[in-house]
Structure 1
Amino acid sequence: MSSLAMDAPILTVHDLNKQFGDGCIRCAGGADRRLEKNYCPACGTVYSCQNLSFELYPGEVLGVVGESGSGKSTLMRALYFDQQVTSGEAYLSCYKDGLSNLFAQSSQQQRYIRNHLMGMVYQNPLAGLRMGFSSIGNIAEKMIAAGNRNVAAMETRGSDLLERVHIPLYRRKEAPKNFSGGMQQRVQIAKAMSNNPPILLLDEVTTGLDLSVQANVLDLIKHLQRELGISMLLVSHDLGVIRMMADRTLVMLDGKVVEQGLTDQILEDPQHAYTQQLVHSLL
């Protein structure tokens, strides 16, 4: 792990909860609550995230691994304010001295955080790109949202980022709808980085891509992370991706973190039965 990771955390999350549904007497709390996995059969409430707490350090890649439905993507959408949390706290050291709960900020302040302090790369490029805009137009859109009005500066920055993610410059005016899945993900990465955010959120960014394309996208992310020292929260259901990319790892099951630690440690000596099952399926 980077020596930077000995610093104070850049992101701290305490007891993040997200439920879909109102809950009932059977599931709404107490030691005797009865859920099937993270679902209440009595009222239909789904507890997608349950008391999630973790820290992300400067220059660190923190992996989040778990099966489909474990709450990984809900966590990412909550951190990027795509969804409101039910309860919980999150603090950024680079926002108001790390003293203000991000989830309690006004929508205007949350937009500021999204546009300046975080970048998001979605599993489905349709969620992160305007497919009818040009590629450089997508980058400019994020820069305009952050208050940039200098067309020449946006053109220069957009071209630089597209080059960095290996999109040929002669295609910068082309719309992502004409691109392959791997190229669309690379445009998303460029867009997410447009305002130099200290944190990147990466949600299953290689799902659905061919293996060789997956490897290219992961190599690119790793290279950018090392070069720029960005902190990354990387969600995947694929332990191979986590092994290649992450310094530390959280293992999620049914909306809870069941194990966390150094990635090597978790892969070599998994403690929780579910993590053991994941690791054995990788071998």
Structure 2
Amino acid sequence: MKEMEQPVLSVRNLHKQYGSGCAACRDARRERLLKNYCPACGTVYACQDISFEVFGGEILGVVGESGSGKSTLMKCLYFDQEVSAGEAYLYAYQEGRQNIFAQSAQQKRYIQNHLMGKVYQNPLDGLRMNFSSLGNIGEKLIAAGHRHVGRMEARGRELLAHVNIPEYRVKEAPKSFSGGMQQRVQIAKALSNHPPLLLLDEVTTGLDLSVQASVLDLIKMIQRDFKISMVIVSHDFGVIRMLADRTMVMLDGRVIEHGLTDQVLEDPQHSYTQQLVQSLL
């Protein structure tokens, strides 16, 4: 049973704020905030005491409107930003005994390069647009300590074939690709070192509907074939419904609802979640 398993990722009380806070907003209840913003001092509480777990082979969906804190959460998990407070534990790192947020910069790079992959909303953040697709994957492999050119190229070709990049285009730079193909290259790069955890941040935003569908199908195939755990962020409950085993709903930097995706869809408890579900009908 899931509750008896060791989680792949465990996050406890993750907190991220922009600003030092003041007497009006430092209280844990933060009752004087305007959504997640303090009008007295201008501090933004982007993530407020977020806790969750991700288990082996499952997809956790994180859904919420723009400004809800979901993308900030992903940036903190991948060390693109420092947390203000909180803990996170990866079972693949020191068997889950060390808070990864408290590790040195060198250890964080190790975790990024070996134990996590991230697919960004904007491919410009995840790819070198002037490198070839093979070169992008090679960069990730080199960062993890690989040096054998032949094996790196073979791994790159294998992954690019898996995400349906035509063989004759593997040496092309992503700048010449469509948005959907760029996301496929990002996914291949993120998978290059067999990470136990994949983070996907709004990967279908801005894509045409038909392209969105093909990217979502690819994600489902990868989850099935690689048995990899994923955290998928989206403002679109339709995407979460299609992919996620469990769903976490965020609003104003807080988790307002959390449960099995089917349960959240069929019996939403919070009024905001009810609005999201109603928008699907």
TM-score scaled by length of structure 1: 0.98
1:141 aligned to 2:175? no
Match of 2:274 among 261, 273, 276: 276
Report 1:121-132 matches (<5 A).
121-132=119-130
Aligned counterparts of 2:22 and 2:263: Cα–Cα separation in 1: 39
Aligned counterparts of 1:151 and 1:32: Cα–Cα separation in 2: 54
Q: Which residue of 1 aligns with 2:12?
A: 14
Equivalent residue of 1:232, what SS? Answer: strand
Q: Which residue of 2 aligns with 1:109?
A: 107
Is the contact made by 1:21 and 1:44 (CA closer than 8 Å) also made in structure 2? yes
Q: Which residue of 1 aligns with 2:210?
A: 212
Q: What percentage of residue pairs aligned between the two structures are identical?
A: 71
Report 1:1-283 matches (<5 A).
7-31=5-29, 33-283=31-281
Aligned counterparts of 1:30 and 1:88: Cα–Cα separation in 2: 14
Q: What letter matches 2:104 in structure 1?
A: S
Per the alignment, do residues 32 and 162 of structure 1 end up closer, same or farther by CA in structure 2, a change over 3 Å counting? closer
Per the alignment, do residues 76 and 268 of structure 1 end up closer, same or farther by CA in structure 2, a change over 3 Å counting? same
- Write the deviation string for residues 207-245 of structure 1: whole angstroms up to 9, x where unpaired: 000001000001011001111100000000000000000
Report the Cα offset of residue 158 of structure 1: 0.2
Report the Cα offset of residue 169 of structure 1: 1.2
Q: What letter matches 1:106 in structure 2?
A: S
Equivalent residue of 2:199, what SS? Answer: strand
Per the alignment, do residues 200 and 244 of structure 1 end up closer, same or farther by CA in structure 2, a change over 3 Å counting? same
- Write the deviation string for residues 61-120 of structure 1: whole angstroms up to 9, x where unpaired: 000000000000000000000000000000011111111000000000000000000000
Per the alignment, do residues 210 and 128 of structure 1 end up closer, same or farther by CA in structure 2, a change over 3 Å counting? same
Per the alignment, do residues 32 and 59 of structure 1 end up closer, same or farther by CA in structure 2, a change over 3 Å counting? closer
Q: What letter matches 1:118 in structure 2?
A: M
Is the contact made by 1:4 and 1:59 (CA closer than 8 Å) also made in structure 2? no
Equivalent residue of 1:160, what SS? Answer: helix
Is the contact made by 1:5 and 1:58 (CA closer than 8 Å) also made in structure 2? no
Equivalent residue of 1:200, what SS? Answer: strand
* Structure 1: runs of 5 or more not aligned: none
Report the Cα offset of residue 32 of structure 1: 5.9
Per the alignment, do residues 40 and 143 of structure 1 end up closer, same or farther by CA in structure 2, a change over 3 Å counting? same
Per the alignment, do residues 150 and 270 of structure 1 end up closer, same or farther by CA in structure 2, a change over 3 Å counting? same
Aligned counterparts of 2:225 and 2:188: Cα–Cα separation in 1: 14
Is the contact made by 1:71 and 1:252 (CA closer than 8 Å) also made in structure 2? yes
Report the Cα offset of residue 33 of structure 1: 4.0
Q: What letter matches 2:33 in structure 1?
A: L
Aligned counterparts of 2:67 and 2:212: Cα–Cα separation in 1: 22
The number of residues matched between the two structures is: 281
Aligned counterparts of 2:155 and 2:241: Cα–Cα separation in 1: 32
Equivalent residue of 2:128, what SS? Answer: coil
Q: What letter matches 1:183 in structure 2?
A: M
What RMSD over aligned residues (CA atoms) do the two structures have, in Å? 1.0
Report the Cα offset of residue 6 of structure 1: 5.0
Report the Cα offset of residue 31 of structure 1: 3.9
Q: What letter matches 2:9 in structure 1?
A: L
Per the alignment, do residues 282 and 22 of structure 1 end up closer, same or farther by CA in structure 2, a change over 3 Å counting? same
Deviates more, 1:42-51 or 1:21-30: 21-30
